[in-house]
Structure 1
């Protein structure tokens, strides 16, 4: 191999010299022809070096050395000379060095080597990337509880961050103003800002006016005393636009002409009413000295961890990985792979072992680091904090020092739901505790205290008592437990524990206990992919489909194949596959099944189970809503729907309490109130990145997989940064440079390359509402062409009338065709619709009926609110399943005929309230009454559900109650 590589190096371009590698953040010298070629393709040595790097691949398009060599040989026959494999690898390393992008090495407390990318480098690259920096929100936004769709509108960012982790400053008229520093307004009033936030596109501050109650004066000077722990909603604060800020703390004069900063002694006091407990707050804010005159950018991140297979084969090669995105990006950008950042992975280290290095790096980032902001065209100081941590339930449990929920007597990480012994789960008190959320909440500080206390018990009393108290408290630190249990049997572990206890005791515990700004109880939101789709929906679907006969399954599959998918955001579904493989389908399949469930198999379940399914189908559109119009109304509706579903489920059989995910559903409103729509903290975007991780794994040499995969993702990060026009900043010299114009054109003019790098230009920029509608390129069959509506020909005889599209989608009125009316250079768009009438509520589907009328109308597209999904009322008309359809294979209709639903009386339709697309519009049009569960109803629910359960035999003591809490299948991971 070495000889072949040396030969390849000799065949390739001239080896790089030390001088060539030393760009020092500036454009290369252009003297001579070779220098001009370098400048044209900077920071690459030549065009072929860039081409070779692109061919070598990234993310999904990685190729092996042998495939690259084959492509190189083929292109050589066309007189195109690609550099050798080793030359490209050297080029990539040179560019990583140029960008100061390094792979950090660390050893876990147990000696396991781990490799990670530095979060500060990745965040700095995003701020220097013109495609990203302009889209990031650096301040939280107060939306008054309406139109919430992004993390910057979250309650935590706005109100829940500790003072040290909030946005610290703003710039007004060239001056820098900081939190907790007196500011004089244009009106001459003096205030102290406590929070910065955006409101209606204007930067504001929540301020406390300095009055006689706050500022007292004596012969020695003045004292400023404020109340302790002032909250965002404190009645003493008022919202002031920062544009009114005039003088900073150093310019404010008192009535006697003396400077306030001199008279107050450069400090103010934070008091709780007890003088001995007053806390001194320095003036100026310490961040002012750290910033050294630079603007401070506040960039919170969303952290994610998961375990996935590193193999394509069925053999599971478990890799624990960490990723993050910038919380300040809106979801249409943060959901793109381009903006998802890899941190670390290992197939030998546990999640807490890997997190040792990551937590240390993030804590350093929290203290601030230098970066270049391309939107400001100058360097800035950047601070960050983990806004929330996303994972599945077992991973959340390990990170929060709580037991695995499936087999634990303390199955909830958010509240104190508990039972003394597992057999006591089958009891009325525990059933009541399970459903009567909220129970007393867990406290993160209490968890930290209990963790330290448990280790002290192990060291001073016994390991047996350590285990007893751990079970009793519902606290389990995986790092600490391993040390305590292995030390008596393993001398090396015992010696390592002694060294750490003496020199670095914090490494004996879960690293997340010391992650700044992180609350393990509140900042691990209920994750709806695993809790709802791969939890509740999976449980019910497997249970009910599994009970069907082969004939019934064929009918359900036929109904699924005949489903009208218009307005559901998916084109078609393979019903036969879904039903046959119901036990191994993935998240997106469960989404499809859920939206179809009321119309495909309600005739085959009991009336009791039908009510449960209908309640679930009414609940899930609320859960997966991507935008919340009114938070208070939404949370009230969500709680009512959750209560109804849990009520019906537990009433049918209280044995469902053995599924902790049912209980976690009750905590979902808390997570949404804190962070926004559940789609923001769903792990779907990160789970889809598992395929990229798997590609990196199979292209490593398996000797150092953690390091190899870190290098692969670092190569991808630096390549996309350079070709995207990122500004290369040299902190030591202050010089900046960018990739050459030719290099940037490769990316900016090449859409397939953008998609290959995970960037979708179509969704990266949202089209403004007033720009809709706009024409798209489309073709129309001759059979779909219609005569122009009489409304047009009669009133606009001189205008150009053309049919744009033949439509058949069901909306409130059925849209038959879309028309453009062109007068001069202006085109207006109209839809010809056939009207529907709202009818009664169907007793079987418990959804609104729509009846088609004979009236038609032509309406302007601006009057269209959106599309809704309608399904035929097959139950009322007993639509038969007949072998009349044809399977389409290889784009051809084949025989024999396959079962298909033949609809009778096609004008009788049902509004599909199970649709996850445009759920709010479906609810508004349907206008259905909502059953409210009263306190007395819960008594009946518990009694009847427990009575049913009591008739069943007891489960074995060691039975795992959560069927997917330990080993998830590969199919469940790759859902996208």
Structure 2
């Protein structure tokens, strides 16, 4: 029993501990079982937590009294005066034309709350309820929660005051600044369908922009300004919100956990999106592999039943596993549909008829047929009674015999045909991404990622639990799980990187002492025995069976340790079984063990297996041990690059760090796909860098650490930079050659780490995962296609969806906001939606065309218009000068007169200067950038540096680039191993090239070691865009035109390697005898450990002697 003895405190039974009553009332979930010692009560009374709790209770009480006071006044007024809601059919005064000198409308504030016509109800009780509802809507929602019995336990005083003070003040000021609207009927305008007006369309658009959120108070201010400016159709905020709700209901995308079926349906119903949906595997043209539908998984590994089963030929539907007839009369059984050069083909078995009319599958292997030659499907043959009997004879292949034994003829027609009901039936492959969402506001905006959709989020449910709910509403086939390493381990039911078997993809590992032996250490440089989802599921079932049979928790933990398999989803049931077994043994000690085990088995058999085991393990077409590809953001940038960077800068002195910062700041940033380099910031926060800064370091540090590190550390930077650039390939032209390069580069990384820090190989699973790169590339093609950078940038989207939320139901608020954004995108595009009346609707041409006429809106929504190859951006005019016309130049006054082909151009022609051009690969190539081009003289590819860009003023509007030509050296750079560029014949050589012949942009750096560049330069530091008195040193490049092609740059890494000779780009193994090197390093590591133990023992002995 509790005994209350002091005001504000209560004793427990021991009379030694007390509990603060105010704090426990505010935080019951934290203080229900927490007590403080009696002697500490005075300290607690002086604490900020106690004072906040008391203040919050006082605020609650004051607001509660104010609530009941206003409530009583309203009821009394309602009962005595029989107050009626005024009916306003039009504004009290006509809204005049805009006059900036006219005072604001004096009647505006009086009519601000009258948003629409509402006839007073006949029933006085109903009328009273509506008046109370109006009263409630003007008060704080927290008071309403208290009135309804829902407290705000768990929120501290900062949570209660969620908005900033200035936001609250503005909200109070603008709270009544609404606009009178006559009614709430939504008569759609044909011109702006589904919106009633252009104004409503624009406000719905700005209220649902992905990364730009507008608060309620700011929106009210905008509406008020527009009203005061004489815009007649300005809605009130309430009417805007009610129309948005009405629009969501019409377009059918009201979700709590956003319905993935509706999201996919909207993509299929959008004529702009649907052509880009690939439903079949594709044989790439010219052997260029760039997408997942080119990869081995779709083409060969995935069960054909998990791909799209049907081909539509002018309304005739052909299904796999069904007998069909070709136009030439042959019978075939399509096995898998695929495309080549935009035509549909099929892998198929050829079926022939024996002498007695029986069907025989007689080919040694499947054949490739053109789907357009299919004439009769199974139903047609059935209608014509032309289905032959089946036989099995010696001529059948093993594959065909297996098909018969599996019941293929008995399953004709395909069961999917019944599901389709005569409609086309296709499979949509969806990659799902699970991750924890940080509070960071990413600067990597997701404007271009318009096809990433949100399903659910939760502060409480794990990714596995959320996926289970998703799996219940749709028949899913998984393609890939693109997440970071901890999330992928959870999806694989893996114990994690700290377990003995720390690889989720293979059974590599064991006890730490085993890995420190020669054989154990060497095993880390190769793949172990591959895991499979069947093996993982079998091990989890064994753990559940052991718990059912009464095994101890230690025994199950040993099973998990030995296998490396532990699933948090299944662990709940294991713990429950162990608890139930112990409880039954304690309550009925004489009950036989066999009976207890049988009761537990009955209990488990009654539970749905999907609730016991992870949905990732039971998902058709998905093997988490193979379909969780190595994620290059977390494994390479946030893993290996971060290890290398830490090992490098942690050994530098402050002077060396300053030198590195100077060299880093001097980097040529063109074609590095990075933001502006802030070298001082990188060095100041060297231990807290994120992916964006590590990407910068990875592409540039090899050029700048020379002289600051030894040759072994430089070898790590070279190998890591080379591997990273290969992994960021967007497309692969020669798969065998590419896999060979990746394998050599990955082994170089492991070998270089084994020289500098052998223990890293043992401790860091991310290094071992490099051994699995080849399998994942073959399975998914370029790993950049399954990278999570685009998903990580969704932190900004989540934050913007919650920034103006009350945070009481964050998952709901996010789902509603993103559902609104999905609906807006469907209206702005050419998409269709199924309205509530069952009709398919599309927004008006005016709404759809509005986006195409607004470039800013296009960029925000990620649907900006395509740029044209060879186009030029002209130099801007100087707005501060009186002359507003663009400056022109004649080629005679430029270095164009020195060009090798100057005779082909008129030197007296006027040209505008340009700042950048668009290459054939759609790169934005600025003046000063390095480009590859097609020579106008011999049409061979060359390399040049853009000196100037011009566009002809009149006539044909020719667009040209003046390039300084460089030759490629025959040998690599002696220290960096990269190709070297030199002036042709040691002198400046220029060439005029049409912008349409510029192939692509790439990165090159000045060879400062060869030129002996120093740090004599100083310049004024910019502060507030003005030169300050503070001077900064900078690298002053010597006028020696020798440059190094940066093979560590991610941008166009594949194109530059295709252009250059392979002898200058092929990765070269660091060690020829790898086994001996690794073994010697393993032995040296063991010797180092023994020496460390001897030293510790000696120090211990010395300490013992001194003490004695």
Give the C-alpha shift of residue 40 in structure 1: 4.3
Decide whether the 8 Å contact of 1:647 with 1:938 is kept in 2: no
Instruction: Give the corresponding residue for 1:184.
Output: 325
Decide whether the 8 Å contact of 1:261 with 1:283 is kept in 2: no
Task: Render the CA deviation track for 1:121-161: whole Å, top value 9, x for unaligned.
Answer: 00001111233123222222111682222222222222222
Give the C-alpha shift of residue 801 in structure 1: 6.0
SS in 2 for 1:512: coil
Q: 1:470 to 1:954 in 2, by over 3 A?
A: farther
1:472 aligns with 2:562: yes
Which sections of structure 2, spanning at least 5 residues, go unmatched? Answer: 1-62, 72-84, 86-109, 121-182, 585-598, 877-885, 916-926, 932-942, 1094-1108
2-side partners of 1:181 and 1:870: how far apart? 57
Give the C-alpha shift of residue 710 in structure 1: 1.1
Instruction: Give the corresponding residue for 1:295.
Output: 424
Determine which of 419, 426, 432 is the counterpart of 2:516.
426
1-side partners of 2:583 and 2:329: how far apart? 65
Instruction: Give the corresponding residue for 1:778.
Output: 875
Decide whether the 8 Å contact of 1:250 with 1:259 is kept in 2: no
Determine which of 275, 279, 291 is the counterpart of 2:407.
279
2-side partners of 1:830 and 1:310: how far apart? 45
Give the C-alpha shift of residue 458 in structure 1: 0.9
Q: 1:354 to 1:217 in 2, by over 3 A?
A: farther
Instruction: Give the corresponding residue for 2:594.
Output: none
1-side partners of 2:207 and 2:994: how far apart? 51
Decide whether the 8 Å contact of 1:788 with 1:803 is kept in 2: no
2-side partners of 1:461 and 1:941: how far apart? 46
Q: 1:569 to 1:399 in 2, by over 3 A?
A: closer
Give the C-alpha shift of residue 259 in structure 1: 3.3
Q: 1:196 to 1:492 in 2, by over 3 A?
A: farther
Decide whether the 8 Å contact of 1:334 with 1:340 is kept in 2: no
Give the C-alpha shift of residue 903 in structure 1: 2.1
Instruction: Give the corresponding residue for 2:797.
Output: 692
1-side partners of 2:950 and 2:486: how far apart? 54
Deviates more, 1:426-435 or 1:939-948: 939-948
1:615 aligns with 2:719: yes
Give the C-alpha shift of residue 533 in structure 1: 0.3
Decide whether the 8 Å contact of 2:456 with 2:466 is kept in 1: yes
1:814 aligns with 2:965: no
Q: 1:716-727 maps to which residues of 2 (within 5 A)? A: 716-727=821-832
2-side partners of 1:730 and 1:394: how far apart? 42
Instruction: Give the corresponding residue for 1:337.
Output: 449
Decide whether the 8 Å contact of 1:52 with 1:82 is kept in 2: no
Instruction: Give the corresponding residue for 1:346.
Output: 458
2-side partners of 1:897 and 1:925: how far apart? 42
SS in 2 for 1:815: strand
1-side partners of 2:748 and 2:688: how far apart? 29
Give the C-alpha shift of residue 819 in structure 1: 4.6
Instruction: Give the corresponding residue for 1:230.
Output: none
Task: Render the CA deviation track for 1:291-332: whole Å, top value 9, x for unaligned.
Answer: 22222233211110110135879xxxxxxxxxxxxxxxxxx9
Task: Render the CA deviation track for 1:800-820: whole Å, top value 9, x for unaligned.
Answer: 563643733334233323455
Instruction: Give the corresponding residue for 1:968.
Output: none
Q: 1:611-760 maps to which residues of 2 (within 5 A)? A: 611-657=715-761, 658-729=763-834, 733=838, 735-756=839-860, 758-760=861-863
Instruction: Give the corresponding residue for 1:103.
Output: 255
Deviates more, 1:340-349 or 1:816-825: 816-825
2-side partners of 1:588 and 1:892: how far apart? 28
Task: Render the CA deviation track for 1:508-542: whole Å, top value 9, x for unaligned.
Answer: 22121222221111111110000000000011112
Determine which of 474, 489, 508 is the counterpart of 1:397.
489
Determine which of 414, 431, 437 is the counterpart of 1:308.
437
2-side partners of 1:540 and 1:829: how far apart? 43
Q: 1:314-713 maps to which residues of 2 (within 5 A)? A: 336-363=448-475, 366=476, 385-405=477-497, 407-419=498-510, 421-437=511-527, 439-462=528-551, 463-485=553-575, 501-570=605-674, 572-657=676-761, 658-713=763-818
SS in 2 for 1:841: coil
Q: 1:835 to 1:747 in 2, by over 3 A?
A: closer
2-side partners of 1:161 and 1:188: how far apart? 30
Instruction: Give the corresponding residue for 2:114.
Output: 11
1-side partners of 2:951 and 2:800: how far apart? 47
Q: RMSD of the TM alignment (CA)?
A: 3.8
1-side partners of 2:441 and 2:745: how far apart? 41
Determine which of 317, 321, 337 is the counterpart of 1:196.
337
- TM-score normalised by length of structure 2: 0.72
2-side partners of 1:701 and 1:525: how far apart? 38
1:222 aligns with 2:348: no
Q: 1:222-301 maps to which residues of 2 (within 5 A)? A: 222-224=358-360, 236-252=365-381, 259-261=385-387, 263=389, 277-281=405-409, 282-301=411-430
Instruction: Give the corresponding residue for 2:1008.
Output: 874
Decide whether the 8 Å contact of 1:250 with 1:260 is kept in 2: no
2-side partners of 1:9 and 1:15: how far apart? 15
Give the C-alpha shift of residue 553 in structure 1: 0.7
Instruction: Give the corresponding residue for 2:1035.
Output: 901
1:910 aligns with 2:1044: yes
SS in 1 for 2:797: helix
SS in 2 for 1:709: helix
Decide whether the 8 Å contact of 1:851 with 1:909 is kept in 2: yes
Which sections of structure 1, spanning at least 5 residues, go unmatched? Answer: 18-31, 105-115, 228-234, 314-331, 367-384, 957-976
Decide whether the 8 Å contact of 1:333 with 1:339 is kept in 2: no
- TM-score normalised by length of structure 1: 0.81
2-side partners of 1:544 and 1:579: how far apart? 12
Decide whether the 8 Å contact of 1:12 with 1:87 is kept in 2: yes
1-side partners of 2:682 and 2:244: how far apart? 44
Q: 1:198 to 1:334 in 2, by over 3 A?
A: farther
Give the C-alpha shift of residue 826 in structure 1: 7.0
Give the C-alpha shift of residue 487 in structure 1: 6.0
Give the C-alpha shift of residue 753 in structure 1: 2.8
Q: 1:889 to 1:782 in 2, by over 3 A?
A: farther
Give the C-alpha shift of residue 936 in structure 1: 4.0
- Relative contact order (C-alpha < 8 Å, sep 6+): which is higher? 1
Q: 1:895 to 1:397 in 2, by over 3 A?
A: same
Q: 1:940-955 maps to which residues of 2 (within 5 A)? A: 940-948=1077-1085, 950-952=1087-1089
Q: 1:72-111 maps to which residues of 2 (within 5 A)? A: 72-80=223-231, 82-104=234-256
- Say how many residue pairs are matched: 864
Decide whether the 8 Å contact of 1:618 with 1:914 is kept in 2: yes
Task: Render the CA deviation track for 1:580-621: whole Å, top value 9, x for unaligned.
Answer: 212112111111111111111221111111111111122211
SS in 1 for 2:437: strand
2-side partners of 1:773 and 1:167: how far apart? 40
Deviates more, 1:785-794 or 1:495-504: 495-504
2-side partners of 1:819 and 1:46: how far apart? 45
1-side partners of 2:724 and 2:610: how far apart? 42
Give the C-alpha shift of residue 859 in structure 1: 3.8
1:805 aligns with 2:805: no
1-side partners of 2:695 and 2:119: how far apart? 53
2-side partners of 1:877 and 1:804: how far apart? 31
Determine which of 198, 206, 216 is the counterpart of 1:65.
216
